Amino acid sequence: MDQDLSAPGILTSRMDEAIGWARKYSLFPYPFVTACCGMEFMSVSCSHYDVDRFGAAFPRFSPRQADVLMVVGTISHKIAPVLRRIYEQMAGPKWVVAFGVCTCTGGFYDNYATVQGIDTILPVDLYIPGCPPRPETVLEGLMLLQKKIQAQGRNA
């Protein structure tokens, strides 16, 4: 019973590679927008940049239906517990993207009210720098996140 795997119609793959590929093209972002970077985030979602071709254009506004938390803008210490609760409500596997310099490092808000980088309250998978980040940078970051997700496979 020697089976020829090179015959047409037979596809072989490792399960973790197939799962990684499926997750890569089925991202459901939860946009947590608090400041001016939100305009740039919205422009990436428009037809000119077409984030739909990456399988990540359909935002979810329920953390239980999302797998990518897009933190866009300045995070104050007052809103940080809300952000943490949203992250905890997301089902696994989940990823966090810090969008903009204020989210990544606190930006030019070096004061008592601003979180100096969301990595102090959440594990961050991808940093997208800029004030505000250009749409091309956001698309490049999305592709980097997809590579990371595909490499994780079913180990996520």
* Region of residue 62 (left: phi > 0; alpha: psi -120 to 50; beta: else): beta
What pLDDT does 40 receive?
A: 86
Query: pLDDT band at 144, cuts 50/70/90?
Result: very high
CATH 3.40.50.12280 holds for 29-150: yes
pLDDT digits (tens, 9 = 90+) for 45-62: 777 777 777 776 677 888
E runs forming strands in the chain: 29-33, 68-72, 95-99, 126-128
Q: Which amino acid is it at 156?
A: A
CA–CA dist 18, 23 (Å, integer): 9
pLDDT digits (tens, 9 = 90+) for 58-112: 778 888 989 999 999 999 999 999 999 999 999 888 999 999 999 999 888 888 9
What pLDDT does 11 receive?
A: 61
Q: What angle do CA 145, 131, 93 make, to 5 degrees?
A: 25
CA–CA dist 150, 62 (Å, integer): 24
Look over the chain and give the mean of its residue pLDDT values, rounded to a whole number.
Answer: 84
Query: pLDDT band at 13, cuts 50/70/90?
Result: low
Side-chain-side CA neighbours of residue 108 (13 Å): 3
Please check the confidence at residue 154 and state whether its pLDDT lies above 60.
Answer: no
